């Protein structure tokens, strides 16, 4: 194992990588540009422990999420982080969705995910208000507090002497003359044997600072959430998901009962107008120019802008449309039952040909490892991704 490693990014992936490297004997410095840990994707996600159901058998997402489902739950229980393995339903609301539901059941079996097809009557034993013609019951899905996982990782890293730095932006990266990697911040130049880039929404830019030409560009998609009013929370007992469009990396608007008993609804998926833009009014001309200059974005738009993209935008702007999407799953949910909750931004990697990167993407260079696509289920898979990255560092 190399002696000194700089990790860029203080979300769950960066902190998990830092902990794995520390466990293996490296001296680790973590650089986070915000004033708190888990400030972006980790702190704005659905807090679902995914089972590994949706992903192509043999893919990194399939392997690492199935393993991560177990390791993140074990970590949470060991370190006092709230977690509940409650299972979920994926529901077909029409006969037309049954073939896709059957494919999901086959993937579950291929990936080693405990799941079974059940009838509509059996589904209503789990969720009395659900509407479906058939459902897939997935037993290993759970709910967790991912920011609290990060708090536990920070505590462990601090106890083991890691150098953790908030409010520290990386300004430059180069191969050094006296060290394998030199990382410039606003105050100093850090010298290390290796660099690990876990910068999420900024990961492609960090890779470019390091001299790489990444094979994909980050395009930010904002997902907006509502939640059920307290008096309507009884409509949902656990997690209810639609059958997703297999051509898209998004799982569709769903209902999730959280650890505190609240029920979140969402997310949709619209282009964010800023890399870290959580509202329509969060606009960055520079970020928009980056998207406009990237040929892959235009090719993606030609394929998905109508009707899929338009419907997502209309749902973002219309509470009634959002509620109607939820009512497909639970007909008792209406516009008066939901209130705005918040949003997150997904760092989705996009190739120049307009195709979305559908698996984790990790690129390497001498003394460098760059995690360039790690959206959901990356939080679930964080400890397993960390092992893989640490192997690459070695």
pLDDT in tens, 55-83: 999 999 999 999 999 999 999 999 999 99
Of the residues 121, 139, 157, which one is the last residue of a structural domain? Answer: 139
pLDDT tens digits, residue range 223-276?
A: 999 999 999 999 999 999 999 876 666 778 999 999 999 999 999 999 999 999
Residue 161 has a pLDDT of 97
Distance from the Cα of residue 309 to its chain's centroid: 20
Among 50, 244, 15, which residue's Cα sits nearest to residue 148? Answer: 15
Q: Are 375 and 279 in a shared domain?
A: no
pLDDT in tens, 263-313: 999 999 999 999 999 999 999 999 999 999 999 999 999 988 878 889 899
Report the C-alpha gap between 37 and 52 in whole angstroms.
Answer: 26
pLDDT the model gives residue 187: 85
- 375 with 336, same domain: the answer is no
Looking at residue 383, what DSSP letter applies? H
Please tell me the distance from the alpha carbon of residue 379 to that of residue 78, in angstroms, as a whole number.
Answer: 17
Residues 170 and 237 grouped into a single domain: no
Domain harbouring 168, CATH code: 3.50.50.60
Q: Are residues 165 and 301 in the same domain?
A: no
SS3 at position 118? strand
d(C-alpha 366, C-alpha 95), whole Å: 52
Same domain, 345 and 361: no
DSSP 268: -
Taking alpha carbons only, the member of 201, 194, 186, 155 closest to residue 29 is: 194
Within 234-347, residue ranges assigned H as helices are 285-293, 295-304, 310-317, 319-327
Cα 392 from chain centroid? 22
The two tokens of residue 167 are 């409010």
**What is the bridge-based pairing of β-strands 368-373 and 194-197?**
parallel
298 and 238 share a domain? yes
pLDDT of residue 176: 67
If asked whether residues 279 and 225 sit together in one domain, one would say yes
Q: Are residues 179 and 199 in the same domain?
A: yes
CA 329 vs. chain centroid, Å, equals 23
Domain that holds residue 325: 218-356
**297 in Cβ contact with 304 (< 8 Å):** no
- Nearest in space to 277 (alpha carbons), one of 264, 288, 289: 288
Does position 179 have pLDDT exceeding 70, yes or no? no
């Amino acid at each position: 194992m190399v002696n000194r490693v700089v990790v860029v990014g203080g979300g769950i992936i960066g902190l998990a990588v830092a902990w794995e490297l520390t466990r293996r004997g490296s001296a680790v410095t973590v650089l986070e540009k915000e004033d708190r840990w888990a400030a972006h994707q980790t702190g704005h996600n659905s807090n679902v422990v995914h089972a590994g159901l949706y992903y192509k058998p043999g893919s990194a997402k399939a392997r690492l999420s199935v393993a991560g489902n177990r390791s993140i739950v074990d970590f949470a229980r060991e370190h006092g982080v709230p977690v509940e393995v409650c299972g979920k339903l994926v529901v077909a609301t029409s006969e037309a969705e049954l073939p896709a539901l059957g494919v999901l059941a086959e993937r579950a079996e291929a990936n080693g995910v405990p799941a079974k097809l059940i009838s509509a009557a059996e589904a209503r034993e789990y969720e009395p208000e659900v509407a479906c013609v058939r459902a897939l019951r997935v037993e290993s899905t759970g709910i967790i507090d991912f920011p609290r996982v990060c708090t536990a990782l920070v505590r462990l890293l601090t106890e083991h002497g890691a150098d953790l730095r908030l409010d520290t932006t990386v300004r430059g990266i180069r191969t050094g003359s006296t060290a394998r990697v030199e990382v410039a911040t606003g105050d100093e130049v850090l010298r290390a044997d290796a660099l690990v880039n876990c910068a999420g929404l900024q990961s492609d830019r960090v890779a470019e600072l390091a001299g790489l030409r990444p094979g994909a560009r980050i395009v930010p998609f904002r997902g907006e959430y509502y939640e059920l009013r307290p008096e309507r929370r009884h409509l949902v007992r656990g997690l209810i998901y639609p059958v997703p469009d297999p051509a898209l990396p998004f799982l569709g608007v769903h209902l999730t009962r959280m650890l505190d008993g609240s029920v979140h609804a969402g997310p949709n998926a619209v282009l964010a107008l800023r890399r870290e833009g959580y509202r329509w009014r969060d606009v960055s001309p520079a970020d928009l120019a980056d998207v406009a200059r990237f040929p892959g974005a235009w090719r993606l738009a030609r394929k998905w802008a109508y009707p899929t993209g338009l419907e997502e935008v209309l749902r973002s702007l219309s509470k009634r449309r959002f509620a109607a999407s939820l009512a497909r799953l639970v007909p008792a949910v209406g516009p008066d039952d939901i209130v705005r909750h918040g949003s997150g931004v997904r760092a989705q990697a996009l190739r120049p040909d307009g195709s979305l990167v559908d698996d984790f993407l990790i690129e390497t260079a001498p003394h460098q490892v760059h995690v360039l696509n790690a959206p959901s289920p990356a939080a679930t898979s964080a400890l397993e991704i960390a092992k893989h990255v640490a192997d690459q560092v070695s």
